[in-house]
Chains A and B, each alone.
Chain A
């Protein structure tokens, strides 16, 4: 990618996304500890020990991934460069399109940050329930559950990041990797911390919307540029070395495919236009292929958003309703496991949700927060040592019982109640 010499948007985004996910897990764990253990004065040492476990696990995972990542990136560049440079334009095109897909795949999920959070809470509880519930589990894993979970999580997220970065940045300048990596980690951790602190939910969401829009702009430009690179490759195969010789002028592009061409502002040579190209897909020489790709990409995004909205809220699009009834099982794009439940909802219920958007929730400073406001609801687990003791199994059992009621609340279209219960169910 030719974002710039020193910064690569795709690398940044991947790191941002993976760090955010890791930091959400850590923050969920920490909140969990704070609420479950930290509030009891006598267990302060245990609490501190467990917090230390969490951080130790996370940092261990992080350091292992740093080493792994360094080795991988170095190996990529060492071994890969020769292979890629032979037909650079093709690889640039492939990587642009790959990066575009990765961003597209991750991007919308980011807007479901709260869902992600909920999911992780679910998973952690699940994991804890398993370790607590089975005596056959080795004492090691029981003892260090609070370290293993963040360790595994951080390691997993970072290996993911390495794989993605490896795929995305082969054609990028190696110089651009460190800065993007650091910036991505910092931003991801900052947002994670913000969430942990239970900042203004609306503001977080607005931030996420802005950044997602921006990232999709980048993705659209990557897709468009990918096609452009393929065409440019074909052109340079035809013309030979002269393409580089002619700069931005006549002959630097295939007149048969040109939509517009200005003899300046070439993003391959000019720094300012390079950034413009990275962000918005600017080309001084646009081709039919690249312009079509740009527009088709946005149309695909629009359709995807509509489909996802429809899945989440059947009835948003009455026209699509019939289709939804038939095809919902095949195109299950959402993370919701209970498709049957959601599609079984009647349109009346959905209308209710639309008509009553429950704006009151927005004024709630901490609707899903993990701060003290909801800690009192955690009393069933309050006095238990989470890492050990048979009693916790029962307490989680109680939890499970209380979860059953959520469906009932939800069915009554009382999102506020549900949200309180949801956030408090641990």
Chain B
């Protein structure tokens, strides 16, 4: 039990009035662990520990994370989810977007200031790596939070799905393979609370707890509730919101909710707290899967720990209606991007995910590095490659993303470097055959002060509309945060204000060194061509589409089959006609035989 780590200390270091520098030295390596008690496996841990340690800092602090890859057999990279990285785009961390993979034995330093409060998390942004363990909370304390003084304890709670097998193995053998033509995501083996199960969350009566909740899973959203305890939502994805009463939240992977929970007056009873998979997001529900995880608000260590009560339905608070504490009316868009989400099979039989028929394939040169090495051509999206699905954005504009989901699944989309206003979000389409599409002429419900966050889900065959200000020059990834769907290419690239990136930012030498150490290209266009940036020969492309219907070989096969059938029938006809010629002779022969030869059959 790791129950004790739950009770993190109260926002410490209240004495440090000035911005400090917080340094973490991370050695990324393999660690053996068994969080659900069922299966011993190797995880990617940090400094010999799993789960990895949370990063904690105060607002305006400088954070330096010195990462050494000691995995030996896999590259890695760290992304600081939700941190804006204003002016330090190179520290964002997604491989292929803002950096090269950090090869085994190499070292990279992430150095940035944090000017936003709240709950974040950091995780590997390379090759489906984070569900193998390399993910942990990133907590930014803020003395000036609007609900300061309204709580007694500041703590956090992580939820996660969990696989017994490693992600690369699952990807190669179960997921991105032609034997999985429907693109069915591997089903998690268990649910975890704080990377454990049956945790005892110690509480005292009559106190208010600030609980920062993050879903660090790979696939499923989770419903979270505390029996007989309502709470107030006060922050989502680092955005303070008007305190909102709720009894249950629905948290997709990568989302965060901070709640204030006030305990009861007595210590008579311990109360179950439950995180439960959104089973709609799973292709099948295996019989032996326990798809929820239980812990207890523990008033009394020696008391009973009752089984959770079954509930009739998930009555969760719809985050669309949250109102940010800092109120902003809907922005008026200057530039709009409309994308359609779909899952389809390509010519190799594998199921991929598409934005407008493009499945993301990482370029040879990270897109930020192309920006830095392309001079005035950086405003032309062509140089970033055909399969990076790049949009070049102007500086200080309002950008709108309209997303129509042609897939019958839920998808939590995340935008790096920004929070966005959720202008509209439709319900789920009543059936898979029709998709509800955004119609600007006929808008749906728009709240007066739209909710802002950095990860939002779209409902099955529904749509959403997001708007954000392009006030953060950098190369930002917009992608589905289901790790499987990212592997399927459900991502696009926003190159925001490339001229401003070139003039105000630089890529540190140690980042280039990681590229060189791993033999990765680090300048030129997406294909690594430095001479003619518009020559994309050799770039990485998606597989060819499935052949449609009859191709040349199909026609040849059909023609040959017809010919052989007709020739065959011709022969039979010939044989049949010759019966008239031959039969009488043979009949004569038969009759001519001795009569006792009678046991021949037809």
Binding site for B on A (CB under 8 A): 21, 107-109, 111-119, 121-123, 125-127, 129, 201-202, 205, 208-209, 212-213, 216-217, 220, 238-242, 245-246, 249-252, 254-256, 258-263, 280, 286, 291, 294-295, 298-299, 301-302, 305-306, 308-309, 312-313, 334-338, 341-342, 353, 357-358, 361-362, 367-368, 400, 403-404, 406-407, 409-410, 415, 418-419, 421-422, 425
Contact = CB atoms under 8 A, between A and B. Distances in A.
A216 B588 contact: no
Contacts of B602: 21, 109, 116, 119, 335
A109 B553 CA distance: 36
A413 to B, nearest CB: 9
- Residue among B574, B581, B589 with the most chain A CB within 10 A? B589
A126 B598 contact: yes
27 contacts: A111-B572, A123-B598, A129-B595, A216-B572, A217-B565, A242-B182, A251-B182, A254-B178, A255-B546, A256-B178, A259-B554, A261-B546, A280-B565, A299-B564, A305-B572, A306-B571, A312-B582, A335-B586, A335-B600, A337-B597, A361-B584, A362-B580, A409-B588, A410-B585, A410-B589, A415-B585, A419-B587
6 smallest A-B Cβ distances: which pairs? A251-B181, A260-B554, A118-B587, A250-B345, A209-B576, A298-B564
Contacts of A294: 561, 564-565
B571 A305 contact: yes
A114 B598 CA distance: 18
A254 B602 CA distance: 43
B598 A127 contact: yes
B318 interface: no
Interface in B538-588: 546-547, 549-551, 553-555, 557-558, 560-561, 564-565, 567-569, 571-588
Nearest to B561: A294
Given A251-B178, A334-B586, 16 more contacts: A122-B595, A123-B598, A205-B579, A250-B344, A250-B351, A250-B546, A260-B558, A302-B571, A305-B574, A309-B578, A336-B586, A336-B590, A357-B581, A368-B587, A407-B589, A422-B587
A317 B268 CA distance: 102
B587 A115 contact: yes
A380 B237 CA distance: 112
A202 B206 CA distance: 105
A337 B549 contact: no
B71 interface: no
Contacts of A308: 575
Nearest to B566: A298
A253 B546 CA distance: 12
B549 A260 contact: yes
Given A125-B595, A126-B596, A119 B590 contact: yes
A132 B548 CA distance: 73
A111 B579 contact: yes
A422 B571 CA distance: 28
B513 interface: no
Contacts of B551: 260
Interface in B508-541: none
A295 B585 contact: no
A108 B585 contact: no
B347 interface: yes
B144 interface: no
Interface of B: 178-182, 184, 284, 344-345, 347-349, 351, 546-547, 549-551, 553-555, 557-558, 560-561, 564-565, 567-569, 571-593, 595-598, 600, 602
B591 to A, nearest CB: 5
A338 B589 contact: yes
B181 to A, nearest CB: 2
Nearest to A215: B572
A302 B567 contact: yes
Contact of B568 (A246, A298, A410): A298
A298 B569 CA distance: 9
Nearest to B177: A238
A205 B347 CA distance: 51
Contacts of B592: 338, 403-404, 406-407
Contacts of A403: 591-592
A212 B576 contact: yes
A301 B182 contact: no
B545 to A, nearest CB: 10
B549 A301 contact: no
B557 to A, nearest CB: 5
A421 B549 contact: no
Nearest to A417: B584
A221 B595 CA distance: 41
Given A118-B587, A122-B591, A305-B575, A260 B181 contact: no
Contacts, number: 217
A213 B182 contact: no
Contacts of B590: 115, 118-119, 122, 335-337
A381 B597 CA distance: 22
- Residue among B554, B576, B579 with the most chain A CB within 10 A? B576
Contacts of B546: 250, 255, 261
A286 B578 CA distance: 36
A371 to B, nearest CB: 17
Nearest to B564: A298
Contacts of A302: 564, 567-568, 571
Contact of B575 (A108, A260, A337): A108
Nearest to A353: B581
A291 B572 contact: no
Given A400-B595, A422-B587, A260 B572 contact: no
Nearest to B345: A250
A114 B591 CA distance: 13
B184 A242 contact: yes
Contacts of B181: 239, 242, 246, 250-252
A358 B558 CA distance: 40
A286 B579 CA distance: 36
B572 A255 contact: no
A374 to B, nearest CB: 14
A244 to B, nearest CB: 11
B593 A337 contact: yes
B349 A425 contact: no
Contacts of B348: 255
A278 to B, nearest CB: 15
B588 A212 contact: no
B349 A256 contact: yes
Contacts of A362: 580
Nearest to B545: A250
A260 B595 contact: no
Contacts of B591: 118, 121-122, 403, 406, 422, 425
A213 B574 CA distance: 11
- Residue among B181, B347, B547 with the most chain A CB within 10 A? B181
A301 B580 CA distance: 20
- Residue among B184, B557, B592, B593 with the most chain A CB within 10 A? B592
Contact of B347 (A113, A126, A246, A255): A255
A63 B550 CA distance: 52
Given A252-B181, A295-B561, A312-B582, A341 B571 contact: no
B586 A209 contact: no
A240 B181 CA distance: 10
A55 to B, nearest CB: 23
Given A301-B571, A335-B600, A419 B584 contact: yes
Contacts of A115: 579, 583, 586-587, 590
Contacts of A252: 181
A250 B551 CA distance: 16
B573 A213 contact: yes
B587 to A, nearest CB: 3
Contacts of A112: 579, 583
Contacts of B581: 313, 353, 357-358, 415
A130 B581 CA distance: 32
Given A127-B598, A239-B181, A418-B585, A205 B349 contact: no
A205 B550 contact: no
A361 B553 CA distance: 48
